[in-house]
Amino acid sequence: MAETHTLETQPIQRQPKDYRSDLEPIWCPGCGDYGVLNALFKAMSQLNLDPDKTVLVSGIGCSSRLPGFVVTYGFHGVHGRVLPVATGIKLARPDLTVIGVGGDGDGYSIGLGHFPHAARRNIDITYIVMNNQIYGLTKGQTSPTSSTGFQTKTTPFGNVEGSLNPLQIAIVSGATFVARGYSSMPNQLAKIIAEAIKHPGFALVDVFSPCVTFNKVQTYDYYKGKVYEIPDTHDPTDKFAALRLAEEDGVFPVGILYRVDRPTLDEQIAAIKQQAYTESPSVEQLFKRYQ
């Protein structure tokens, strides 16, 4: 009698290591981006994401190398252009999980024009920004999140500019999920990233990710005692409470600051497409309309 084979009916539970590609990260030893990568592996495993249905999109920078280290589809794009590329992918293929990654220079300087628009459109993507408050890849210039007074190669006498607050910009622009993580708290960061990916809508996860080579101010020691977990008593639907948390200076709340529900861009576009297919007039009717 021929041997019978039963089809695998149980979904495979992927482990964090299953998402690791053959490419070894070339970040400096101690770079915070390793913690972010590990947290992402954990989050992907917690959600059992299918690599064939997941796309990582990045710009340019040390942090933007991340898609190469993960077994998913990846798009290493142009500096500052994570969000338009990610938006296009999500609109073309709403069935995919789309995750944008990059640095604070990439996202909040050259890419800032795209940031409030992705937030207000509420496109269903997750955007993880590895915020080291400096340009790492180009060897240590100030970024928009660099602190005032910060001495770098471009600001040898100290940075005279104020720093922008990405969490507040995201909240006031209409993002429906806004969180902060810390690369040295990978378990908490993994939970935040998993919640962000599950969230239907634009989800920002800004992550403190120290640059050990060029940022000698915002170091691991600097964050010690300053980073604290947002207490359960915080109501993440309270916009003003979220803005106040984001405003805190000298101490840094990590966790989910803001989370609300609103229709996403991709579901609204899909509905309009459906309407256009079912209600579109014939060519003859269109000609008549313009006669």
Ligand X SMILES: Cc1ncc(C[n+]2csc(CCOP(=O)(O)OP(=O)(O)O)c2C)c(N)n1
Residue numbers at the binding site for ligand SF4 (CB under 6 A): 27-28, 31, 33, 62, 132, 136-137, 211-214
CB contact at 8 A, 39 and 183? yes
Residues touching ligand X: how many (CB under 6 A)?
20
Q: CA–CA distance from 183 to each of 160, 180, 189, 207, 268 (Å)?
A: 28, 10, 7, 7, 35
Q: How far is CA 213 from the centre of its chain?
A: 23
Question: Comparing C-alpha atoms, which of 18, 68, 74 is closest to residue 44?
Answer: 18
Q: Is residue 60 a contact residue for ligand X (CB under 6 A)?
A: yes
Q: Is residue 106 a contact residue for ligand X (CB under 6 A)?
A: yes
Query: Among ligand X, ligand SF4, none, what does residue 143 contact (CB within 5–8 Å per kind)?
Result: ligand X
Q: Which of 112, 137, 172, 241 binds ligand X (CB under 6 A)?
A: 137
Distance separating alpha carbons of residues 15 and 38, to the nearest angstrom: 12
Q: Which of 35, 84, 100, 103 binds ligand X (CB under 6 A)?
A: 103
Q: Which of 37, 62, 89, 196 binds ligand X (CB under 6 A)?
A: 62
Applying CB under 6 A, which part among 69-77, 118-126, 129-137, 267-275 lies near ligand X?
129-137
Q: Is residue 138 a contact residue for ligand X (CB under 6 A)?
A: yes
CB of 272 to ligand SF4, least distance (A): 41
Query: Among ligand SF4, ligand X, none, what does residue 214 contact (CB within 5–8 Å per kind)?
Result: ligand SF4
CB contact at 8 A, 82 and 106? yes
Query: Among ligand X, ligand SF4, none, what does residue 21 contact (CB within 5–8 Å per kind)?
Result: none
Tokens found for residue 56: 């990582």
- The secondary structure of 169-195 as a DSSP string is HHHHHT-SEEEEEETT-HHHHHHHHHH
Residues sharing a CB contact under 8 Å with residue 182, sequence separation 6 or more, in sequence order: 188, 189, 207, 208, 223, 227, 252, 254
The contact mask relative to ligand X for 201-230 (x = CB under 6 A, - = no) is: ----------x-------------------
Query: Among ligand SF4, ligand X, none, what does residue 135 contact (CB within 5–8 Å per kind)?
Result: ligand X
**DSSP E strand boundaries for the chain:** 54-58, 73-76, 97-103, 126-131, 177-182, 203-208, 227-229, 252-259
Write out the residues near ligand X by the rule CB under 6 A: 60-63, 79, 102-106, 110, 130, 132, 134-138, 143, 211
